[in-house]
Amino acid sequence: MPRRLFFDTYAMIAIAHKEAAFEPYLDAEPVTTWWNVTEFYFISRRDGVPQATAELIARRYRPCCVEPKDSTYFSAAEFRLRHRFRDSSGKFKRVSYADAVGYQVSLSQGIPFLTGDRGFKSLANVEFVR
């Protein structure tokens, strides 16, 4: 039985780029939100992926999407207000709204949050891969 993991936007991009570190997760059962899929699509298009290709990959995640409860959105906003991290240049940053919502979904569902985003590296319930 495949392991259930929450795929954040970073994980989806890394898998689409066939990053070796994410290869062990190809057989996982992904859970995500439409917010993360939309963010994945945006980043893919911004980075020059053709529209049809970005849409095709994004639509493959649609069956894996869960609809967060209203309280999850509020928890995500509170998390985002409290949680800042330093990026590689030393500047303080906040995680994206999509990933903040996704992290809260992973906590509520009791499944690990798969990411390579440094903003989540030291948090509980995170499977950090680089």
Local confidence band at 31 (pLDDT 50, 70, 90 cut-offs)? very high
pLDDT value, residue 1: 84
Residue 51 confidence (pLDDT) above 90: yes
User: Between the CA atoms of 130, 52, 100 and 104, what dihedral angle is there, to the nearest 10 degrees?
Assistant: -100
Residue 87, pLDDT > 90, answer no
Q: Which domains does the chain have, with CATH numbers?
A: 4-128 (3.40.50.1010)
Confidence at 71, pLDDT banded by 50, 70, 90: very high
pTM score of the predicted model? 0.95
C-alpha 102/C-alpha 7 separation (Å) is 8
Residues 48-60, mean pLDDT to the nearest whole number: 97
